[in-house]
Each structure stands twice: as C-alpha cells, then as structure tokens.
Chain A
Amino acid sequence: MNRVWALAVITYKEGIRNRSIFGILAFALFVLGLNVAVAGFFMREIGKVTVDMNLSALTFSGLLLVFFVALHLMAKDIDKKTIQLVFSKPLSRGEYIVGKYLGILCFVVVSLLVLAVFSSATVLLVRGLYPNYFAGFSWPVFFTAGFFILVQLAVLSAILILFSTVTTSSFASLIFTVCAYLVGVTIEDVVFYVKSGFRTEQISEAVKQTLDVVSHILPNFAMWDFKLEAAHGLVIAPERLGLALGYAAVYIVVVLALACLCFQRREFN
C-alpha cells in the first residue's frame, strides 16, 4: 500500500507542477467573469443562470484537466520509457495502475477545490449585486452538484487510464476518452428518443440493438448530472444520490480492474 501511495504522491506532485493548469485556471476565471457580465441580461432567473454558468465552468475546466494534464501524467512514463525504471522497483503492474489513478484523482480533487473556491466567490459576488434574484438558490444542492462533477471526472479518469493501457499512442487515448465522454453524456437522450417511437421508423433494428449494448457498456453521465437541480435549488432524493455513487464506484472498480488486466499483458520495448 505504501508503494501505491508513494506513486500516487509523485503523480499528484507532477500534476500540480504542470504549467497547463495555469491556462485552465485562466479559462475558468474567464468563464466566471463572463458570468458576472452576462447575469444581468436575464429578466428574473439571475441565480439560475449564475449556477448554470458556474457548474458548467467547473465541468469544462475539469474536463480540460483530465484530457490534457491527466493524460500527460499517464502517457509520459510510457512515451519517455521511464516506465522501465519504475518497474525495476518492487512495484507490480496492478499497483502502478492504482497508484497512478489515485495520484490523478488527488490532482483533480485539489484542482477542482481551488476552482470551487473561485466559483463560490463568483456566486457570492453576483448574489451581492442582485440579491432579489436568488430566492431558489441553495448552497447544499450547489455543492452536491459540484461534488458529482468530481465523480464524473473520477469515472472519466478511470476510462482514460484504461485507454492508455490498451493504446500505444497518447493521442489515440485522448480521442477514445473524448469519444467515450461524448457518448456518455448524450446516450441517455438518444436511447430515450429511440424508445419514444416518435418518427423512429427509419432507424434500423441493428442500430437500436447497438445503442442498447453501448448504453450498458459506457457510463450514463446523466446519472451524475445535478446541475439543473442546483440551478433551481430543487431537493435531490437521497436514493438518487446513493444510486449515483454506487454506480460510479462499481464502474470505476471494473474499469480499473480491466486496465490492470490489459496492462499485465502489455509489452514495453
């Protein structure tokens, strides 16, 4: 366990030292600043618009962190062949995968916490400017939605690690992870649309079956999306939160186990 933790700490430190995070921070600050400017354009629901923009800014920034910084952390060892050095130490391949994942997760958690501080400050600022338009706003629901952005990123990081273990190029891992994310966030609406039967006669049975299979292989990211609830301060049923957490935990375990399996069989020249 100590070995895994040591690798996690090294990975985390490498992530924090990456200069790309300044660019991502600047992007997040730009979106949050934009929020202050745009909020006043709306008639009544300034609070809702503020929450929408803040949570979306957190998601976009989190995605950039995973797609670029986390990918770099994962691919660097393999691309630069330093992985040979790591494996000369008493560290199994499975431990390597888990250590890397924990390091990436710590990095994402800390980065997101910093962004959440800026985000909360923006909400406070806009609330100070338009105090009458935040009637439905609730901090607990806002932070719950923020926490589930983190859960989404945790799942995505696991998927990224899986693809890094099966592909030889980091660019291919990036493309596959982006595709998995895009499918994951859209699959629910596509599946329900097809099931609705409204003008779906043209869709072939094969496509419908493929969709069904994909919807069970890839995670349904909508399960971890509570942005709409946060925007209107709606109460989220505890069972829904429990199911969402359980779904994420099981998915991460399966994907990481699969990643370990693939990594065991991988050859490094």
Chain B
Amino acid sequence: MPRKVILLILIVLAGAWGHTRLSRQVWENRRETRSRIETGYVFPSQFNRVLALGHKGLYADYLFLNTITFFGERQMYRESLTREDWDYLVTGLNAVTDLDPYFLDPYVLAEGTLTWETRRFADANRLLEKGMKHRTWDWQMPYYLGFNHFYFLKDFNKGAEYLMEASRRPGSPNFLPHLAARLSYYGDQAKTGILFLTGIINSTTDERLRASLLLRKKALEGAALIEEGMERFKKDLGRAPQDIAELTAGGYIGTLPEEPYGGQWVILPSGRVFSTSKFVEARKK
C-alpha cells in the first residue's frame, strides 16, 4: 500500500477519534448553555399566524415541540423553573392554541403543570376555556375545568356546572352526573378529589404524567384516611381536632398513611387535611 494512502487512513482515523471526543464535549456544552438560557421568546399570535405561511398546524406542532423540550429538559434535570420560565410556558401554549385551537396536547400539558406545579389557575383555566369552546366534542376540557374549580378554587357550584357540561358531551364516563351531584354536597373532601383523579388517570396515556397523577392519588388517599378519622373524632367529641397528633393519640388513626411527597401531614385552619410538601415533588434549587 502506498505511503500516501496509509497516511490518509491514519489522518482519517485520528480525525474520527478527535471528532468523537469533541462531539461529546459539544453536546455537553450545549446542554449546559441551554439550561442557562433564562427563557425563550414567543412571537405574538397575530404575527405567528402570518409567519406560519399557511401552515398553521405544522407551525403549532413546531412551537409545541419547542415548549415541551424546554419544559422537559428542566423536568429531566429536576431544575426549578423561574417565574419567567412559567410565563414562557403560558405564552407558548397560548401561541400554539391560537394557531391550532383544536390541538389537545397543549391543553393537557397546561392542566398537568400550570395547576399543580405553579398554581396559575387563571392561566390554565383560560387555556381550557379556549379548548372547551373549540373542541366541542371533547368532554375532557370541561372536566378539567370542573376539577380546577373544585379542587383548587373551591368554587363547587361552578365546578359542578362544568361537570354537567362534560357529562352532556359524547363519550363522557357514566359517573360524571353522580360526581357533579356529590360535588354540590360534599365539595371540600379528599374523596371527591380521588374520584376526579381516577377519571383523569383512566384517560391519560402518557406514562410520566400518569405516574405523577398516581402519586397525587396516593397522597389524596392518605388525606381521605385522615379525614375519616377526623369525622369520627368530631362525632365523639363534638369538635374538630387541632392537629394530627391529637388524632393519633386518641386512636382515631392507626398508623399515619405515608405522605408520598415526603412532607408532614397537617390540618389547615379551614379543617382540610394537607401536607407541608404541598403535594409537590422537591426540586433542586
């Protein structure tokens, strides 16, 4: 083999080795750089519609992919999101649903993150209202709205109204009218929340979202168990317990249920059972 060819092969091999090493560094560098980027910028919807050049659906897919990549990266590395990050997420989801108001995924993401993680109920509800208006065949939009009004906003009548709307839509589960009725009577109870969550879990196919909802259901089941003890306590002593210790000391709860988010069970002044973790997973600061 001529020397020139051997030399060229050696150069190619050395170059390939160098490239592999550099490539790894480049990807790691990009990951760090991206995580340092504060937030992205989303064009106003009026501009996006023009920019889509007649491909609003495709552009909505692209914007949504950008938004979930941004959110997913921070989830994966368990980094906390700043207020600007959440603003970006809300603006992004708004832009996506302005381009394609029938697109289900942004609404599901809004319900799964904006409420539980950052308590931006108004933003989540505004998005879901848009979804309810356009996805007239979909019972899930009013169902999510009903859940938000019941669980987070404590507006049981409005929650029941949304549930009734959901029950009138095709394919809705049979238990919705029953749930709406129950909501009107026993709104502020963990058991009602469990019923709601079971409905959401059954219609969720995304594994990660499902796992996180199952964790929440477990937390609510724990809260429901304590609420049962509280009810017995009230029946016997004619007053509400002041704290969890009073319940356990009186034997109204055998062993305290596990709090899956790692917090401590507490009884709020409103009489509701909650946790110091606020039912949110601990994140890196």
In whole angstroms, how far apart are the Cα atoms of A72 and B58 in the complex?
29
Structural contact, B50 and A231, CB atoms closer than 8 A? no
Listed stretches B12-20, B96-104, B223-231, B269-277; interface member:
B96-104
Interface of B is mostly: helix
Name the contact of A227 in the complex, choosing from B55, B65, B103, B209 (C-beta under 8 A): B55
Structural contact, B103 and A56, CB atoms closer than 8 A? no
B window 94-123: CB within 8 A of A: 100, 102-105, 108-109
Residues of B with C-beta under 8 A to A182:
53
Structural contact, B206 and A44, CB atoms closer than 8 A? yes
Residues of A with C-beta under 8 A to B61:
42, 48-49, 52-53
Structural contact, A185 and B54, CB atoms closer than 8 A? yes
Structural contact, A185 and B53, CB atoms closer than 8 A? yes
CB nearest to B100 among chain A residues: A228
* Interface assignment of B57: CB less than 8 Å from any CB of chain A: yes
Structural contact, A44 and B58, CB atoms closer than 8 A? no
* Interface assignment of A59: CB less than 8 Å from any CB of chain B: yes
Structural contact, A189 and B105, CB atoms closer than 8 A? no
Residues of B with C-beta under 8 A to A56:
55, 57-58
Residues of A with C-beta under 8 A to B105:
42-45
- Interface residue tally for chain B (C-beta within 8 Å): 24
Structural contact, B50 and A43, CB atoms closer than 8 A? no
Structural contact, B100 and A225, CB atoms closer than 8 A? no
Interface of A is mostly: helix
- Measured CB to CB, the residues of A under 8 A from B are 38, 41-45, 48-49, 51-53, 55-56, 59, 132, 182, 185-186, 189-190, 193, 198, 221-222, 225, 227-228, 231-232, 234
- The 23 listed contacts between A and B (C-beta, < 8 Å) are A43-B209, A44-B108, A44-B205, A44-B206, A45-B103, A45-B104, A48-B104, A52-B60, A53-B58, A55-B57, A59-B54, A185-B53, A189-B49, A189-B50, A193-B46, A193-B49, A221-B54, A227-B55, A227-B57, A228-B56, A231-B57, A231-B100, A232-B102
- Measured CB to CB, the residues of B under 8 A from A are 46, 49-50, 53-58, 60-61, 64-65, 68, 100, 102-105, 108-109, 205-206, 209
